[in-house]
Structure 1
Amino acid sequence: MPIAALIIIGAAAGFLATRLMRLDTNVVTTIGIGIIGAIIGGVILRFVAAVFGMLGGFVGAVLGAVLLIWLWQTYWRR
């Protein structure tokens, strides 16, 4: 995935994931969560992305970002 697309999709996915998880973060953290979530979701849901195209990639990015937020809140934020 090109870098520009990764940043744009990551920003959108991070925004949506932080709102779904009710997490108040700054812009850089939100984009970072979205990009890392996009990578996680891309690995986990590669088959879904191939079958459903761009929508599957976005869903995978959001799910990956939500998973990352959950892991962060559960194990690292104390």
Structure 2
Amino acid sequence: MPIIALIIIGAAAGFLATRLMRIDANVVTTVVIGMAGALIGGLLLRFLLTVMGMMAGFVGAVLGALLLIWLWQTYFQK
């Protein structure tokens, strides 16, 4: 079943990509372009989500620390 889904999604993605890039390709080339694009895009997206997940945690920690410092200076330190 996943292979059939990959072919259908690849065909749709390839069709959309070839239309956006204005490339005239046959059905097999369109499906192959879509499947390869799905593979590359999926790997890239997983990598970016992993890196951004770590970076989001760091950014959240810095923002939390800044908020805590602001609260300390505003309400507790006189």
Q: TM-score range by the shorter chain?
A: 0.5 to 0.7
Relative to the length of structure 1, the TM-score reads: 0.57
Work out the CA distance in 2 between the residues paired with 1:5 and 1:46. Answer: 19
Q: 1:44 to 1:16 in 2, by over 3 A?
A: same
Identical columns (%)? 76
Q: Which residue number corresponds to residue 30 of structure 1?
A: 30
Q: 1:13 to 1:48 in 2, by over 3 A?
A: farther
Work out the CA distance in 2 between the residues paired with 1:48 and 1:3. Answer: 25
Q: Which residue number corresponds to residue 45 of structure 2?
A: 45
Deviation of 1:47 (Å): 6.3
Q: Which residue number corresponds to residue 4 of structure 1?
A: 4
Work out the CA distance in 1 between the residues paired with 2:44 and 2:12. Answer: 19
Aligned length: 49
Deviation of 1:2 (Å): 1.1
Consecutive unaligned residues of structure 1, counting only runs of 5 or more, are 50-78
Consecutive unaligned residues of structure 2, counting only runs of 5 or more, are 50-78
Higher-Rg member (1/2): 2
The amino acid of 1:13's aligned partner reads: A
Relative to the length of structure 2, the TM-score reads: 0.57
